[in-house]
Amino acid sequence: METTQQQAIIVGIQLQNDTNFAYSMEELRNLAAACNITVIGELSQKSSRINPSHYLGTGKIQELAAMVQDEDTVIIFNDELTPSQIRNLESSLDRQVIDRTILILNIFADRAKTKEAQLQVEVARLQYMLPRLTGMRESLGRQGGGSGLKNRGAGETKLELDRRRIEERITALQTELQAQVERRQIQRKQRHKNEVPVVCLVGYTNAGKSSLLNAMVETYHPGSNKQVFAKNMLFATLETSVRSIRLPDHKTFLLTDTVGFVSQLPHHLVKAFRSTLEEVTEADLLIHVVDASDPQHEQHMAVTTETLKALGADGIPTVYAYNKADLTGRAYPAVEGDSVTLSAKQSRGIAELTGLIRSQVFNDYIQCEILIPYDRGSIVSYFNEHAHVQEISYGEQGTKLALECRAADYERFRGDFVELSN
C-alpha cells in the first residue's frame, strides 16, 4: 500500500537587511523534502520585526488560512517559534504548526543510528519540548488554586507530571551520554599517545564528506569494506566515523567524518552534539569540503566557518576541497595554494588532496642514512614498519638504511645506531 506524502506550506519573514532570505526559504524546502514532506505553497512577509504573539501580522494570518485547504496540510515556519506563537497559530489556523528547529530535530531523529547519536537527539528534542508543553496541553481543562496537586485540574496535574518526567528523562540521558563522552575522550588520548595525526572532514551538509572519506579508503585500502554510508541528501551522516589511512610510504593518519552543518543549526542540537563536534577541535588539520556545484556554496562556506568559530576550532590549519567538480565547468583535479578541486565520486583529485595533507601533517619527518648493528635487528623491523625505507644494504658492521622517518623516532633510537648522514 502506497503511503501518501505529507503536504506543507512554508512561511517566513524577511527582516530588514536580510539578504539570505530566499536562500534560507529554499533550504527550508530541502529540509522538508528530507522529512518526506512536499511543499505545495509558500508565504512570506517583509517586516521590521517578528510579531511576538502570532509571528505574522493579522492580514498575513488570514491569507495563510485561505491557502490551507486540506486539513492534513502542515504549516512550517522558517524560524524557531515560541510556545505562545505555536499555541496562537494553531488556534487561529486550526492546523498543525511546526518550526525549522523541530524539522531538523525530526531529520536527526530519523537518521540517528548509533547509541550516542540517538541519545543526543532525544536530549535535544526533550529540551525543545519542555517549554512548549503548555501549548500541547491547552486542550485539557484547568482549574486553579489549592496547595499540592490534589485540587488542581486534570490538565495542570498532567502538565506537571509530564514536565517532571521529561526533566528526569533528560537527566538520565545526560548521565548516559557523559559515559559515552568519557569513552571517546579515552580513545582520543590513546590516539594522541600514538602520535597519529588526526585529519577532520568538515563542511555543509551534503557537501560530499562521506563520499570523500570513502574515496580515500578505497584508494589506499582497496577492498577493505570500510566505507561509510553516503547519500545525496541533507544530514545523511550523523555518526562520527574514523578511518585509519596508511599511505604507501607507511605514513599513517586518522581521517574523521563529522556531522554536516546547516544555517541556523538549532542550539539544542549544537548543545547535544557538542561532544561529537568537539572531535573537530582536536584535529591537526581540517579539510573543509565544499560542494562546488551548488550556486550557494560561498554561503555554505561562511556557515561552516561560523560554526567552527563557535566550537573554538577556527585556529586549526585548513585545506579546502572543492568537491563535485564533475558537475561544474571547472578543470580538475587542480591544486591552488591550500585548495584542491576534485571529484570524490570519480575518485579524481585524491592524490592531490593527499599531497596537501602530507605537507601539513607530516612536516616533522627527516631524511637520514644510518647504520644499525646486527644485534639491534628489532629497530630495523620497526623502521620497515613505521618509516619510508628507500634503500637497504648489509655490511660488516650491520644494516645500512637510507630512510625518511619521524623526528621523534629518530631521537628515540639515536643511541642505538650510527649516523652516516642527516
Q: Cα(227)–Cα(249) distance, rounded to whole angstroms?
A: 22
Q: How far apart are the first and last CA of the chain?
A: 73
**206 belongs to an annotated ligand binding site:** yes
Residues 6 or more apart whose CB falls under 8 angstroms from that of 142 comprise 152, 153, 155, 156
**55 belongs to an annotated ligand binding site:** no
**263 belongs to an annotated ligand binding site:** no
> Which is nearest to 290 in space by CA: 253, 243, 330, 239?
330
Query: Residues 96, 75: contact at Cβ < 8 Å?
Result: yes
**324 belongs to an annotated ligand binding site:** yes
**325 belongs to an annotated ligand binding site:** yes
**326 belongs to an annotated ligand binding site:** yes
The distance of Cα 334 from the centroid of its chain, to the nearest Å, equals 26
Return the C-alpha cell found at 49.
520585526
258 phi and psi angles, rounded to 5 deg: -120, 170
**345 belongs to an annotated ligand binding site:** yes
Alpha helix positions (H), 260-319? 267-272, 274-277, 297-311
Query: Residues 55, 77: contact at Cβ < 8 Å?
Result: yes
Residues 6 or more apart whose CB falls under 8 angstroms from that of 312 comprise 281
> Which is nearest to 110 in space by CA: 233, 208, 267, 7?
233
Q: Cα(86)–Cα(97) distance, rounded to whole angstroms?
A: 6
**82 belongs to an annotated ligand binding site:** no
**207 belongs to an annotated ligand binding site:** yes
**114 belongs to an annotated ligand binding site:** no
Query: Residues 409, 385: contact at Cβ < 8 Å?
Result: no
CA angle 280–282–285, rounded 5-degree value: 70
Given the C-alpha cell 556545484, which residue does it identify? 293
> Which is nearest to 105 in space by CA: 86, 119, 118, 124?
124
**210 belongs to an annotated ligand binding site:** yes
H-run or E-run covering 389: strand 388-394
**32 belongs to an annotated ligand binding site:** no
The secondary structure of residue 394, as a DSSP letter, is E
In DSSP notation, 87-133 reads HHHHHHH-S-EEEHHHHHHHHHHHH--SHHHHHHHHHHHHHHHGGGH
**416 belongs to an annotated ligand binding site:** no
**240 belongs to an annotated ligand binding site:** no
Give the residue ranges of the annotated binding site for GTP: 203-210, 257-260, 323-326, 343-345
Give the residue ranges of the annotated binding site for Mg(2+): 210, 237
Give the residue ranges of the annotated binding site: 203-210, 237, 257-260, 323-326, 343-345
